[in-house]
Copies of this chain bind each other. A is one copy, B any other.
Amino acid sequence: MAADFRFHAVAGPLPLRRLAEAAGIALPEGTGERLFSGVATLQSAGPEDVSFLESRRWLPSLRESRAGAVVLAEANAHAVPDGAVALVAPAPVLAFARIATLLHPPQSARGTRHPTAVVGEGVTLGEGCEIGPYAVVEDGAVLGARCIIGPHAHVGAHVVLGAECRVMSHVTVTHCIAGDRVTLNPGARIGSEGFGFATTREGEHVTVPQLGRVILGDDVEVGANTCIDRGSGNDTVIGAGSRLDDLVMIGHNVRLGRGCVIVGQAGISGSTTLGDFVVVAAQAGISGHLNIGAKARVGAKSGVINDVPAGMDVFGFPAMPAREGLRVAAAMRKLGRSKAAARMPETKSD
């Protein structure tokens, strides 16, 4: 499907030459001046659209596509229909991302300040910031150039945001120092009070004041309704370039290295440290006070209760080296089908 122009900006038409340059693609001769106005799926693309072959399973769609140009791996270039330009790239998704960004650029700050925005005393607004309706920016906050603060966003007192940050609608960000180009999707909660208390002998829970901050590196992206609690004494730190999906929970004092990826509904408990480029798949959980080494990967729904060495893939609950975890999973599958299990009485629980 082509992008719905009601919802997505269109920058084109642009000559293929410019698109290919941005993506580092060598063009077949004589195609550089052809004009393109959008991107679209193979099925819906027309002659002015750039499309994209994600995997071999879509080769039949490629053969019937009316797209004007198609980004793909060299091995699949043979299947591009006549009249369409093959845009051969070693990393097709990456090349497509760069082309699509040129044709459908993200909204940039309009330099406007809605009359209903409440901006406190001593706030520093960088050049060209856009402040949406009913946004609240409290006293002493510092915003870099060209930030976008969405409708109803709440930027707490003395928060620091770098340049070109996007704080989408209904975000709460307090007790936070953020770098450049940070994106906080709708409803993200940054800097809330962590879950810190001590319990008396009588069972009363007494709050331990949560006196730290949240530090977000450059280019961090945080998904919708995701929560990152502020540190209790040290800071909670999300390394540059890390991406968090929706409904993720990050406990107090957690430290993520650079470029980490935390998929939807995963959770990381307090004071755990992740090295650079760690991947945590959907609905996984990591206990508190652990060390997860750089480039480790945690499988979906896994529960990590011990340190993980750098570079290791883990899976299962309790999480174990992925090969072992997959073996256990296979054994469970086999057990489910076995006659021995069938004979087992379905024991009643206590």
* Chain A contacts to B: CB under 8 angstroms: 1, 3-4, 6-8, 39-41, 52, 91, 93-94, 96-98, 100-101, 104, 106, 114, 116, 118, 132-134, 136, 140, 150-152, 154, 156-158, 168-170, 172, 174-175, 183, 185-187, 189, 192-193, 195, 197-201, 203-209, 211-213, 219, 221, 223-225, 227, 229-231, 233-235, 241, 243, 245-247, 249, 251, 258-259, 261, 263-265, 267, 269, 276-277, 282-283, 285, 287, 300-301, 303, 305-306, 309, 316-318, 320-321, 324-337, 341-342, 344-347, 349-350
Contacts and interface: CB of A to CB of B under 8 A. Distances in A.
B136 A204 contact: no
Contact of A259 (B168, B203, B329, B337): B203
A336 B320 contact: yes
A192 B223 contact: yes
Contacts of A345: 330
Given A133-B118, A224-B192, A241-B203, A7 B158 contact: yes
A56 to B, nearest CB: 14
Number of copies: 3
Q: By DSSP majority rule, is chain A's interface helix, strand, loop, or mixed?
A: loop
